[in-house]
Structure 1
Amino acid sequence: FKERCSDILSAEDTTNALYLTLFAVLNSLGFRFIVLTDYFSPVSFELNFVFFVLEFLLSSIILTFALKPLFIYSVRQVKSGRSGEAVVLSLALVMLYIGLVWGLVFEADTVSQSYLRSGFIFAAFFTVVHLYLSQKIARRIAVEVGLVDPLNDLKVKRVSGGPTQLDITRQQPEGEDTADDYIIYSHIKPGDVFRVEAGQVVPVDAVIVSGSAELKEVRFSGLSRYAVKSAGQEVYCGSIVVVGSFTCRATASYFDSTFPGMKQILIERLSREEGRLDRFFKYEVLLSVVLILTGVLTGVVWYFKTGSVFLALSLASAVMFCTLGYRAFFYLSSLPARWVFKAFSAGVLLKGSEVLSRLKGVRTLVFDYSAELSCGVPEVKTFELIDSRVDQQALFDALLSLCGGSDEEIDIMLAEYCRSKVKKPSLKLVDECRVYPGKGISGIIESCEFSVGTEEFILARGVQLQASEVLVGDENIQPIYVAVEDDVIARFSISKPFLSDGHDLVERLKKQGIRTVLCGSEPEDKLDVLGQAIGLELVDVFGGLDSERLCKKLSSLTESALVLNERSPRSILSLPQVTIVWFDPVRWNVDEANVVSCSRDARVIADLFQLVRKGALIELVIPVFASFITVAVLALLVLGYADIYFSVFVLVTGNLVMAILSGLGGALWEAQPLRCAGYGNA
């Protein structure tokens, strides 16, 4: 697949060819309009002949200049021992041109009056459009699956005359400065200093030297989160600055940074499946033979029917334009790798594309609750402003600035909640920020001491908590208090991890026909309460299982996927079921199971199954669509109910339809280098 993709991308730029063929098409349409007007009807026969000669000259120019990229592309395919789409299209266009020459020399009176005389011009135009679309789509796919990295090729401006001072706010304009004044992202070395502004991407892992900003941060996967970083904190390659700017010092090169390193793991895994990903291309030669033989036989039949060499060659070449099968092979071969990378952008690291096939057959998702679940995230249920004198917008700005720099789950959740309530955040400078894991966070903003955390944390900070301010009631709801100096000014109600996201997971999987089961070593009554809270039936909850009984129970659940945690028996990993674990940034357990989730949010698993179902549907629809259309058009051409115009139109529209079906509808417009696929959710 990489070779085919590289073939398309290495073909000469088709923009000029597109303009030239469009010019020829407009002229041809103009000729038609002139002949059809009443004013020129008395001399329409003579005008048709003159315009036929002019269109032949335009066709010759197109053949010589506009189709050069296609012919070079086809020669490259022949040299590599393959007979692909470019070879068949080149042969079809040459046959069509030969038919045009024959018509001009031997059948001029008949051909000049026929609308088929413009067939070569329109066929060339649609072929160039098809090649243009193919290049754009191949570029998009290559970016998605890591074959092309736009960020890697960007250049940045050196400043202060030193090799370690970079300004990534400037890209090299054509004709200005010399190449020595610029450096490519991938050439940035540890220790280099550069500045990042709003709207730009952090090129490598780095530490902020000065300044602060809000980022859509990516780290271990393409899944992004809002974070606020200031001097002394780390920023990661691929993160996008939303608000603010900062100067930072590189701590790693581009290829040694965290996010590119994780992408490289996927590329290496997919490279080991080369034969599996390339399985569709074994039909290339067969399709070429079928199209060429069908075209030749069609031409022979129609020559004996009509006696016209021009018509026979036109229909023969029209048959050869039914090359949608090549597009189907290309899209189908790219899908496994693309789904793997789409899962990565959603926060899931797959062991390979074969995991996708195994997930298609999963009918039961089993959670191992041994001591506790390691998945699940808390969620804000309510927010209450206790002190009415406080400006809510300013409070959200302050909390976003304070909590956005923490990696604690509750702090991340509070920062994301505040970000959702603020359209244009105003970041505040936070001094003496301290994080107390599992308890809270404190810091000084504009000379005021902020404390955010649990009741015990707030009381330990010396805050006066009134009885009316204490939240009582549901044991599954945890109150988080916000205090300024000694007074509580606001309160959040937060659900415990796995309750909200777990309930959403169960509901979404149920709609997909997947049963959710909860089992583990915890007492049955405890698991029953948790199961009911997330929407499970009692028959789907199994508690009080020791390691041996747990393994036996899991092995009895066929067509299942097992979600494990840190305390699950490692022997479970050897079971034949698909295994899912949560990413550990300390152990880097990327090879431990079939699926590694870089997010603790249980809904990510539902996203994964939804992606698998979507992929299975597309893998079914594309070959059916391509086969039906190809067979239908071939039948119409062989029977004489269609012509070259219809054939090339189907070629282009079929390519577009399959691109849209496979999720590439936006590939017509090149993504901006800093807003490309594969970098967070930008």
Structure 2
Amino acid sequence: MKKEYEIVNLHCGGCASKIQYELDRVENLKDVNVDFYSKKLKFTLEKDIEEKDLIEKLNKIADKVEPGTYFKKVDDDSTVSNHLNKNEDNHTHGEELISKIDLIILTVGITLFVVGLTLSKSLQKDIILIIAYGLSGYDILLNALKNIKRGKFLDENFLMSIATVGALGLGDFGEAAGVMIFYKIGEFFQDMAVNNSKKSIEKLMSIKPDFANLKNKNGSIEIVDPSEVNIGDILVVKPGERVPLDGVIISGTTTLDKSALTGESIPIMAEIGTEILSGSINIDGTIEFKVTKMYSQSTVNRIIEMVESAGSKKAQAEKFITKFARYYTPIVVLLAIIIGFGTPLLYDGNFKLWFSRALIFLVISCPCALVLSVPLTFFSSIGKGSKDGILIKGGNYLERLKNIDTVVFDKTGTLTKGSFKVTKVEVIKGTENEVLEYAKAGEFYSNHPIGKAILNYGDIKVFEWDIQGHNEKAGYGINALYNGKEILVGSKKFLEGHKIEINILEAFGTVVYVAVDSILIGRIFVEDEIKETSRKTVDELKGQGINVYMLTGDNKKTGKHIGEILGIDEDKICTNLLPQDKVNKLEEIKSRSKKGTIFVGDGINDAPVLAMADIGISMGKIGSDIAIESSDIVLMNDDPYKIIEALNLGKRNNQVVLENVGFALGVKIVVMILGVLGIANLWLAIFADVGVSVLAVLNASKILTKKSIN
């Protein structure tokens, strides 16, 4: 049973990691994810527990790690939840008030600090500096004491308290006050940077419609929640409003902005019969449309769910940093103890000197830069991808993009538009109308683009009551009973499998054969148009040293022709494939891949292959629901070139992660060494902690503001 809760009063990335660690150890909880940036807790409950008892148990754990932090049900309208919401509102108001009071107190502390430094009299100077220290760091000292009582003392509050109290003990009142003030200012800028990043991501996801204009049977308009609308209802969208659900326009014309969904900046014209997606913005005309999907299955809701759930699938880098931080801080604290007490005992007996140097170690030991910046980098990259119409379902999939040497494409609907048209009807026996009639009878229930193209061609009508039987074998063809006659419609291989001899040459293009009562009567030629960016995509993939394959059910002659147009090597074009053949072929291709393999597809028949690939990428615009569910990345506008952008985003994400890890650890190690040598002081140590954190967070968040990921 999957559970999701909102996290209230969580203000620290390191605390989120600690809560995650504690919840991972709780019995009956599986796949726990504490997301600091979306403030959501998600997990799978293996054994049914009463909701009240479960929340109480979780809240005790959260409060023990970070006092005041608790969980509440998402969008819970119950009395309990309303009470919590009121408490949260009160807390938020109180928190804002406390923040203002803290700012005033810190300002007074800074003022006293500056005044104290200008005084010459030693006693007055020391008293004012001690007061400045108390005003600027009283909350840190209190939190450190509370955490010691809880047995959770290896955090930044404890480390800063020990370091600055140690400085006071050594008589360095100015340094103690200054370091505490500098730390608080750095924390302020760090929080501001994190909040700005979170707001940027929230802005990207602000595509959820707030209301729907429901047209009643009497013609009146009623404003309702989108979740209350049913399939078949008529909705009205005015200029400037967001389309609340997916549907088909039945009245009016307009221009739609779909940039929030697909990343396409150019608005599109929409008229009667145009399919529209929820989350689009109606620019200039009033339209009416018939709803085709419930809100839970609408495009906008699926996008929000995919992006929100992406945080639960953590990359190896995120898992490593969380584990690293758990061991890193105690090790550094132990080293500080050895430096402060062991070195003078074994070396020169100068306890004051080495104790001072040990304090530098304590300040540096907080791993905030890593704990904050690495998850934020993945979060920002996933948000950036969403903005550009690339939905990445987890940090683990984003991480895999950096190691890809093979991309395998399905042809129809992926490299081609999947909008087929009949170009020729070849008659072998009977008339053209007869060939079309029997072909349409066979394709009557088909959802395949080729079947729809045949059904829409010509004026021949077929009625459902004349069809007595129908059986479709995906990838092969259709066996139907029409007006007492047995009809076969499908590939050459399908008809030959039914003992029908075909003594005509294989033709170029997609060909559908038609037989009646075991006699071949004709064949229908269908063509598909290649997408504008397909060749460019293939060329750039090959330019990056990536092997490109194409899988298709077309005959060899057709496959070779399409491959030549796209620039795919002949030995990497696989033709005459049935759905199960694609699975076998991908296994063969994967066995030759040294790094990782991407499969790109769109249809229901591609679902097994999408799931089997190292990364499955599906086309979200025309792709089937099952293909989208089976894939790891969804391209919202069906543009194959988005694969290049996704690969570049994966590389950029990896680069920023390495930059932050290298920078944070590098600076800390250098300052540690300088501290032991007596070159670095507490001021530099604070920069190595808070300053590095701020810079790392800013570096991670720049992914969101970068205009292009190419």
- TM-score with structure 2 length normalisation? 0.56
Partner of 1:510: 542
* Displacement of 1:133: 1.7
Q: Per-residue deviation at 1:641? A: 0.9
Q: CA offsets per residue over residues 249-277 of structure 1, 9 Å max, x none?
A: 99799877531333224544654769996
Q: Distance in 2 between matches of 1:245 and 1:577?
A: 44
The residue number in structure 1 matching 2:363 is 321
Matches of 2:577 and 2:269, distance apart in 1: 43
Q: Contact conserved, 2:410 with 2:600, CA < 8 A, in 1?
A: yes
Q: Percent identity?
A: 15
Contact 2:133–2:180 (8 Å) recurs in 1 = no
Q: Find the counterpart in structure 2 of residue 562 from structure 1.
A: 599
Secondary structure at 1:362's aligned position in 2?
coil
Distance 1:373 1:53 in 2: 76
Deviations 1:282-327 (Å, cap 9, x if unpaired)?
A: 3333223123333334444688869685x76654443222146333
- Residue-by-residue CA offset, 1:177-208 (whole Å, 9 max, x unaligned): xxxxxx9x99998899999775x766777999
1:124 paired residue number: 181
Match of 2:642 in 1: 604
What is the match of residue 197 of structure 2?
140
Q: Which residue of 1 aligns with 2:61?
A: none
Say how many residue pairs are matched. Answer: 500
Could you say if the C-alpha distance between residues 316 and 18 of structure 1 is closer, same or farther in structure 2, counting changes exceeding 3 Å? farther
Alpha-carbon contact 2:341-2:351 (below 8 Å) kept: no
2:597 paired with 1:530? no
Counterpart in 1 of 2:160?
Answer: 93
Return closer, same or farther for 1:355/1:153 CA change in 2, 3 Å cut-off: closer
Over 3 Å counting, the alpha-carbon distance change for 1:498 and 1:240 in structure 2 is same
Residue 21 (1) aligns with residue 106 (2): yes
Cα distance 1:209–1:581, how it changes in 2: closer, same or farther (>3 A)? closer
Instruction: Report the residue type matching 1:355 in the other structure.
Output: Y
In the alignment, which of 658, 665, 673 is matched to residue 696 of structure 2?
A: 658
Structure 2 distance, partners of 1:438, 1:625, is 64
How many Å separate the matches in 2 of 1:652 and 1:313?
22
Q: Tell me how far apart the structure 2 counterparts of residues 561 and 21 of structure 1 sit (CA, whole Å).
A: 54
Residues 1:362 and 1:149: Cα distance change in structure 2 (over 3 Å):
closer
| Structure 2 counterpart of 1:262 | 303
- Confirm or deny: 8 A CA contact 2:606 2:627 kept in the other structure: no
Of 599, 615, 634 in structure 1, the residue corresponding to residue 672 of structure 2 is 634
Contact kept in structure 2, 1:218 and 1:237, CA below 8 Å: no
Gaps of 5+ in 1: 36-43, 157-163, 167-182, 379-436, 440-495, 668-676
What displacement does 1:121 show? 2.8
Residue aligned with 2:408, SS: strand
Alpha-carbon separation, structure 1, partners of 2:226 and 2:609? 41
SS in 2 for 1:366: strand
Among 564, 582, 593, which residue is 2:619 paired with?
Answer: 582
- Which amino acid letter does the alignment assign opposite residue 303 of structure 2? M
- Residue 152 (structure 1) shift: 7.3
Q: Which moved more, 1:346-355 or 1:244-253?
A: 244-253
Residues 90-131 of structure 1, C-alpha deviation per residue, up to 9 Å, x if partnerless? Answer: 12332344346545xxx5xxx5xxxx7144234333334325
Cα shift readout 1:449-483 (whole Å, capped 9, x = no counterpart): xxxxxxxxxxxxxxxxxxxxxxxxxxxxxxxxxxx
Letter in 2 for 1:631: I
Contact 1:9-1:139 at 8 Å conserved across structures: no
Alignment of 1:148-159 (within 5 A): none
Post-superposition offset of 1:537:
4.1
2:329 is aligned, of 288, 292, 316, to 288
- Distance in 1 (alpha carbons) for counterparts of 2:236 and 2:128: 59
Shift, 1:658, TM fit: 1.9
Output aligned runs, 1:66-215, within 5 Å: 67=139, 72=143, 88-99=155-166, 101-102=168-169, 107=171, 111=172, 117-134=174-191, 136-137=193-194, 140-141=197-198, 144=201, 198=240, 214-215=255-256
* 1:20 to 1:206, Cα distance in 2 relative to 1, 3 A: farther
Deviation at 1:45, TM superposition (A): 4.1
Tell me, in whole angstroms, the C-alpha distance in 1 between the residues paired with 2:228 and 2:390.
29
Q: Cα gap change, 1:122/1:78 in structure 2, threshold over 3 Å: closer, same or farther?
A: closer
Change over 3 Å in CA distance of 1:196–1:9 after alignment to 2: farther
2-side partners of 1:340 and 1:196: how far apart?
A: 31
Identify the residue that residue 55 of structure 2 maps to in structure 1: none
Aligned mate of 1:621, from 645, 659, 664: 659
Residue 364 of structure 1: which of 393, 399, 406 is its match?
Answer: 406
Change (3 A) 1:262 1:300: same
- Do the aligned partners of 1:278 and 1:333 also contact (CA within 8 Å) in 2? no
User: Which residue, 51, 63, 67 being the options, matches 2:125?
Assistant: 51
Aligned with 1:662: secondary structure?
Answer: helix
Give the CA deviation at 1:4: 4.8
Q: What SS class does the counterpart of residue 630 from structure 2 fall into? A: coil
- TM-aligned CA distance change 1:365 to 1:102, over 3 Å: closer
Q: Structure 2 vs 1, CA of residues 123 and 232 (structure 1 numbering), >3 Å: closer, same or farther?
A: farther
Distance 1:505 1:374, change over 3 A: closer
**Letter of the aligned partner of 1:61 in structure 2?**
L
Contact kept? 1:130, 1:652, Cα under 8 Å? yes
For the Cα contact (< 8 Å) 2:604–2:627, is it kept in 1? no
Q: Structure 1 residue 643: deviation in Å? A: 0.7
SS in 1 for 2:618: strand
Going from structure 1 to structure 2, the CA distance change for 1:81 and 1:611 (only over 3 Å counts) comes to farther
Q: Which amino acid is 2:389 matched to?
A: G
Deviation of 1:365 (Å): 1.2
Aligned partner of residue 409 in structure 2, secondary structure: strand
Listed one character per residue, the Cα deviations across residues 398-433 of structure 1 (whole Å, up to 9, x for unaligned) are: xxxxxxxxxxxxxxxxxxxxxxxxxxxxxxxxxxxx
The aligned amino acid for 1:365 is V
What displacement does 1:525 show?
4.7
- The residue identity in structure 2 corresponding to 1:503 is R
Q: Give the whole-Å Cα distance in 2 for the aligned partners of 1:531 and 1:79.
A: 70
The residue aligned with 2:373 is: 331
Structure 2: distance between partners of 1:340 and 1:665: 10
* Higher mean C-alpha displacement, 281-290 vs 600-609: 281-290
Q: C-alpha displacement at 1:623, in angstroms?
A: 2.5
- C-alpha contact 2:391 2:634 (8 A) present in aligned 1: yes
TM-align CA RMSD: 5.3
Q: 1:571 to 1:534 in 2, by over 3 A?
A: same
Give the drift of 1:604. Answer: 1.1
- Structure 1 residues 306 and 216 mapped into 2: Cα distance closer, same or farther (>3 Å)? farther
Superposition pairs of residues 318-467 of structure 1, within 5 angstroms: 318-323=360-365, 325-336=367-378, 339-350=381-392, 352-369=394-411, 372-376=412-416
Q: Which amino acid aligns with 1:363?
A: D
Q: Indicate if the aligned counterparts of 2:660 and 2:696 stay in contact, CA closer than 8 A.
A: yes
d(CA) in 2 for partners of 1:223, 1:195: 21
Give 1:179's aligned residue: none
C-alpha separation in 1, matches of 2:254 and 2:687: 50
Cα distance in structure 1, aligned partners of 2:391 and 2:367: 31
Distance in 2 between the 1:574 and 1:99 partners?
57
Deviation at 1:605, TM superposition (A): 1.3
**Aligned counterparts of 1:629 and 1:605: Cα–Cα separation in 2:** 36
The structural deviation recorded for 1:366 is 2.0
Are the equivalent residues in 1 in contact too, given 2:415–2:531 (CA < 8 A)?
Answer: no
- Letter of the structure 2 residue corresponding to residue 137 of structure 1: V
Deviations 1:36-71 (A, max 9, x none): xxxxxxxx743x65334322222222233xx36x95
Cα 1:3–1:617 change in 2 (3 A) is closer
CA–CA separation in structure 2 for the residues paired with 1:314 and 1:155: 62
Task: Check the 8 A contact 1:218/1:236 in 2, yes or no.
Answer: no
